[in-house]
Structure 1
Amino acid sequence: MDPRTERTSSALRAAVLELAAQQDIDELTVSQVSAHAGINRATFYDHASSPADLLTSILRTELDEIRDDFYTAAQGLPPGPATGPDAPPRTDPRQLVDTITQALVGHVDAHTAIYERALQGGLSAPLFRLLAEHFSETLRAFLLERPHLMPLPCDAEQTDVEQAARAYACYVALGSVGALEAWLATPAPRDPGFFPRITRTSLAPWWTAPN
């Protein structure tokens, strides 16, 4: 990225994060963000199709980093049953759940004003969709790497495995976003352990079974 484009991207990032903390992202206009960033509307459209698109792109980058850390930590969970005296030490799945949920709390907390602004009875559509889709894709990929975790018939076809992974992932993802909404709706200062605790205790036992 050339220096001029990088400066414009940085200005847009700062502008949309600041404005989204003051006004619901659904109500922000391209003109407002462009003026705040010191650019024209045409230049804005070189970077995003709308303020909501710009904001979710910025937040998605942060969520991608959390997902990468999750996948790295999940390498301690082999893609198949690991038993016997020579089996390597296994990551505790409960600790894995705590790690990613704590990271998600940190992400939301770092952008509290934006997520709170969007709440008002529930997250705004762009933010709800961003979180739900990101959580779902992360968990779906995790399960497809470890199909032995899912309660399925031993002779399940690959299409059954893929459908089950998507269904389980969507079920947990949508519930997780709901739990985040409930956490955001509580008065500050919020208990940072609430979301990790609710997520861990709400999961079906097979998600966090040691083996």
Structure 2
Amino acid sequence: MDPRQARTRSALRAAIYELAAAQPIADVSVAQVARAAGITRDTFYRHATTPEHLLADFLGEEIDALMAPIATLPATSGTELSVFDEPERALLRHVARHAQIYLNSMAPRLTGPVRDTLVDRVEAGLLTHLERHPEIAPPAQPGIDPERHRRILVAYAGGGTVSAIEEWLRSGDLADVDAAARTIIAASPDWWLGRSRS
């Protein structure tokens, strides 16, 4: 990325985060973002189609960095903790850090682009883990091919995780990330978790 484009991206990130923290994302206009970022509307449209999509794009970049370690997780933790303990906490810390942005993206669920970004990123991490460790999954049911089986398992876990995050956001009490992470992990089937039993 050339320096000018990097500066524009940085200005857009700061602008959309500030605006989305101050008001519902559905009320943020392209003109507001362009003005706050010091760019033209045409420049905005070279980066996103709507303020919601721009916000989702920047949040997605952060989540990608958080989810990257999932690609190297072992099948089992070697402890009583889940292999997903730290990735789950990292994701929830991200949500808590941007709590007002996420809250302003809810009506009553997260807006489409923001929700899709969370679901897509969580599912991508889980799919990578399952592809690396296919032995952890329960056997496919008759009539379901192995690829569809994996995708159903991932979709259920990813969608459930994001729905749990939405409920956590609605609670208004985001102080205890560890408790929220433990609760989400407790709702997950044992075969996903990779705990070592003594």
TM-score clears 0.5: yes
What is the TM-score of this pair, normalised by structure 1? 0.83
Shift of 1:105: 0.9
Q: Equivalent residue for 1:86?
A: none
1:178 corresponds, among 163, 173, 180, to 163
Within a 5 Å distance, the mapping from 1:123-134 to structure 2 comes to 123-134=110-121
Deviation per CA, 1:141-176, whole angstroms, max 9, x where unpaired? 21122111111169x89x822111110111011111
1:115 counterpart = 2:102: yes
Q: Equivalent residue for 1:52?
A: 52
1:32 counterpart = 2:32: yes
Q: Provide the C-alpha distance between the structure 2 equivalents of 1:24 and 1:141, rounded to a whole number of angstroms.
A: 34
Aligned-CA RMSD value: 2.3
What is the TM-score of this pair, normalised by structure 2? 0.88
Identity of aligned residues (%): 34
Shift of 1:207: 1.4
1:138 counterpart = 2:136: no
1:188 corresponds, among 146, 158, 173, to 173
- In the TM superposition, structure 1's runs of 4+ consecutive aligned residues that sit over 6 Å from their partners are none
Are the aligned partners of 2:16 and 2:51 in contact in 1 as well (CA < 8 Å)?
yes
Q: Equivalent residue for 1:201?
A: 186
CA spacing shift, 1:34–1:207, aligned 2, 3 Å: same
Q: Equivalent residue for 2:152?
A: 167
Deviation per CA, 1:65-91, whole angstroms, max 9, x where unpaired? 11112223x0x338xxxxxxxxxxx54
Alignment-mate amino acid for residue 154 of structure 2? A
Q: Provide the C-alpha distance between the structure 2 equivalents of 1:36 and 1:120, rounded to a whole number of angstroms.
A: 25
Are the aligned partners of 2:136 and 2:191 in contact in 1 as well (CA < 8 Å)?
yes
Q: Provide the C-alpha distance between the structure 2 equivalents of 1:14 and 1:93, rounded to a whole number of angstroms.
A: 40
Unpaired runs of 5+ residues, structure 2, are none
Are the aligned partners of 2:11 and 2:37 in contact in 1 as well (CA < 8 Å)?
yes
Task: Give the number of equivalent residue pairs.
Answer: 196
Shift of 1:204: 1.2
Are the aligned partners of 1:25 and 1:51 in contact in 2 as well (CA < 8 Å)?
yes
Are the aligned partners of 2:47 and 2:54 in contact in 1 as well (CA < 8 Å)?
yes
Q: Provide the C-alpha distance between the structure 2 equivalents of 1:13 and 1:209, rounded to a whole number of angstroms.
A: 37
Deviation per CA, 1:164-205, whole angstroms, max 9, x where unpaired? 111011101111111111111123353212321122211112
Alignment-mate amino acid for residue 196 of structure 1? A
Are the aligned partners of 2:60 and 2:117 in contact in 1 as well (CA < 8 Å)?
yes
CA spacing shift, 1:70–1:92, aligned 2, 3 Å: farther
Greater relative contact order, per chain length (Cα 8 Å cut-off, separation 6+): 2
Q: Provide the C-alpha distance between the structure 2 equivalents of 1:103 and 1:146, rounded to a whole number of angstroms.
A: 22
1:41 counterpart = 2:41: yes
CA spacing shift, 1:49–1:93, aligned 2, 3 Å: farther
Return 29-38 or 200-209, whichever deviates more: 200-209
